[in-house]
Structure 1
Amino acid sequence: MTSTTAPPQAATTRPQTASIVIQFVLTGIVWGSSFLFMKVALGGISPAQVAWSRLLLGALALGLFVVLRRDRLPTTGRIWMHLTVVAVTFCVVPFLIFAWAQQHVSSGLSSIYNATTPIMTAIMAWAVLRVERLKPGQIAGILIGILGVMVIIAPWSGMDATQGIGAQLAILGATACYGFSFAYMRRFLADSGVSALVFSFLNIGLAAAIMLLLTPVLVLTPVRLDAGIVLAVVLLGFLGTGLAYVWNQNVLRAWGPTRASTVTYITPVVGVTLGVLVLHEQVSWNEPVGALIVFAGILLAQDRLRLRRREA
Structure 2
Amino acid sequence: MRRSSMLRLAGLALLWGSGFLWIKLSLRGFTPVQIVLVRLTLGALVLAPIALARGMRFPTDKRIWGHLFVAALVANSIPYTLFGIGEKTVGSNVAGVINATTPLWTVLVAFLAGTDRKVSAWRGVGLALGFAGTVLIFSPWKSANEIASWGGLATLAASASYGISYVYMGKHLTNRGIPSIMLSASQLAAGAMLMLLAMPFGGLVAPHWRWDAVASLVILGVLGTGVAYVLNYRLIADEGPTIASTTNYLLPVVAVVLGALVVNEPVTVSMVAGMLIVLGGVFLVQRTASTRNPEPEPKPVAVSD
Residue 241 of structure 1 corresponds to: 225
What is the Cα deviation at residue 157 of structure 1? 11
Residue 294 of structure 2 corresponds to: none
3-state SS, counterpart of residue 278 of structure 1:
helix
Residue 228 of structure 1 corresponds to: 212
How many positions carry a matched residue from both structures?
286
- Report matched runs for 1:1-312 at 5 Å: 26-131=11-116, 133-144=118-129, 153=137, 155=139, 158=142, 160-162=144-146, 165-215=149-199, 218-246=202-230, 255=241, 263-280=247-264, 296-303=280-287
- Once residues 202 and 268 of structure 2 are traced to their aligned partners in structure 1, the CA distance between those partners, rounded to angstroms, is 41
Counterpart amino acid of 1:130? T
Q: Percent identity?
A: 34
Question: Are the counterparts in 2 of residues 122 and 179 from structure 1 also a CA contact under 8 Å?
Answer: yes
Counterpart amino acid of 2:189? G
What is the Cα deviation at residue 213 of structure 1? 3.7
- Once residues 98 and 281 of structure 2 are traced to their aligned partners in structure 1, the CA distance between those partners, rounded to angstroms, is 16
Question: Are the counterparts in 2 of residues 131 and 183 from structure 1 also a CA contact under 8 Å?
Answer: no
3-state SS, counterpart of residue 263 of structure 2:
coil
Please report the TM-score for the alignment, with normalisation by the length of structure 1. 0.75
3-state SS, counterpart of residue 225 of structure 1:
coil
Please report the TM-score for the alignment, with normalisation by the length of structure 2. 0.77
Question: Are the counterparts in 2 of residues 148 and 292 from structure 1 also a CA contact under 8 Å?
Answer: yes
The structure whose Rg is larger is 1
Question: Are the counterparts in 1 of residues 32 and 84 from structure 2 also a CA contact under 8 Å?
Answer: yes
Counterpart amino acid of 1:116? T
Q: CA offsets per residue over residues 196-217 of structure 1, 9 Å max, x none?
A: 2101101111101222344455
CA separation of 1:213 and 1:294: change in aligned 2, threshold 3 A? closer
- Once residues 29 and 141 of structure 2 are traced to their aligned partners in structure 1, the CA distance between those partners, rounded to angstroms, is 33
CA separation of 1:261 and 1:177: change in aligned 2, threshold 3 A? farther
Question: Are the counterparts in 1 of residues 96 and 255 from structure 2 also a CA contact under 8 Å?
Answer: yes
- Once residues 158 and 217 of structure 1 are traced to their aligned partners in structure 2, the CA distance between those partners, rounded to angstroms, is 33
- Once residues 293 and 182 of structure 1 are traced to their aligned partners in structure 2, the CA distance between those partners, rounded to angstroms, is 23
Stretches of structure 1 that go unaligned for 5 or more consecutive residues are 1-13, 307-312
Question: Are the counterparts in 1 of residues 33 and 198 from structure 2 also a CA contact under 8 Å?
Answer: no
